[in-house]
Amino acid sequence: MPMSGELDEGERTFRLCCEQFIQHSQACGDGWMWEDVKGSEDGYMKKTLLKTRSDSGAPSKASRMSKDDETIKLEFEAQAVDEEEVDDDDIGNTTANGPELIRYEYHVVYSSSYQTPVLYFRASSSDGRPLTLEEMWASVGDHYRARLLQGPWDTITQQEHPLLGQPFFVLHPCRTQEFMSPIVTAAKGENRSLNYIIAWLSIVGPVVGLSLPLSYASAASQLEATPD
Partner 1 sequence: MGSQGLCRSAQNCGNGATITRPASERITTQGLLTAPPCASFPAPLYSNNNHIFEKPEEVKHIHSLGRRMADDKDVLRDVWFGRIPTCFTLNQDEVTEREAEPYYLLLPRVSYLTLVTDKVKKHFQKVMKQEDMEEMWLEYEGTALKWHYPIGLLFDLHASNTSLPWSITVHFKNFPEKDILHCPCNSVIEAHFMSSIKEADALKHKGQVINEMQKKDHKQLWMGLQNDKFDQFWAMNRKLMEYPTEEGGFRYIPFRLYQTMSDRPFIQKLFRPVTTDGQPNTLGDLLKEVFPAAVTPDGILDLVFVNMT
Give the interface with partner 1 as residue ranges (CB under 8 A).
1-4, 7-8, 37-40, 112-114, 129-130, 155, 157-167, 172, 174
Query: Toward partner 1, which CB reaches closer, 113 or 150?
Result: 113
Q: Which residue in 11, 15, 212, 24 sits closest to 115, CA to CA?
A: 11
Q: Shortest distance, CB of residue 53 to partner 1, whole angstroms?
A: 18
Note every long-range contact of 17-26, with CB atoms under 8 Å and residues 24 or more positions apart, other chains counting.
17/195, 17/196, 17/197, 17/198, 17/226, 18/45, 18/108, 18/197, 20/195, 20/197, 20/223, 20/224, 21/45, 21/195, 21/197, 21/198, 21/201, 21/216, 24/215, 24/216, 24/219
Single out the residue of 139, 170, 142, 143 nearest to residue 154, CA to CA: 170
Nearer to partner 1, 71 or 125 (CB): 125
Q: How far is the CB of 193 from partner 1 (least distance, A)?
A: 26
Contact predicate 168/107, CB 8 Å: yes
Which CB sits closer to partner 1, 139 or 195? 139
- Identify whether 17 is a catalytic site residue: no
Shortest approach of partner 1 to residue 208 CB, angstroms?
18
Is the CB of 142 or the CB of 160 nearer to partner 1?
160
Residues 6+ apart with CB under 8 A from 181: none
Q: Which of 17, 18, 28, 174 is catalytic?
A: 174
Rounded to the nearest whole angstrom, what is the least distance from the CB of residue 204 to partner 1 in the complex? Answer: 18
Q: List active site positions.
A: 174
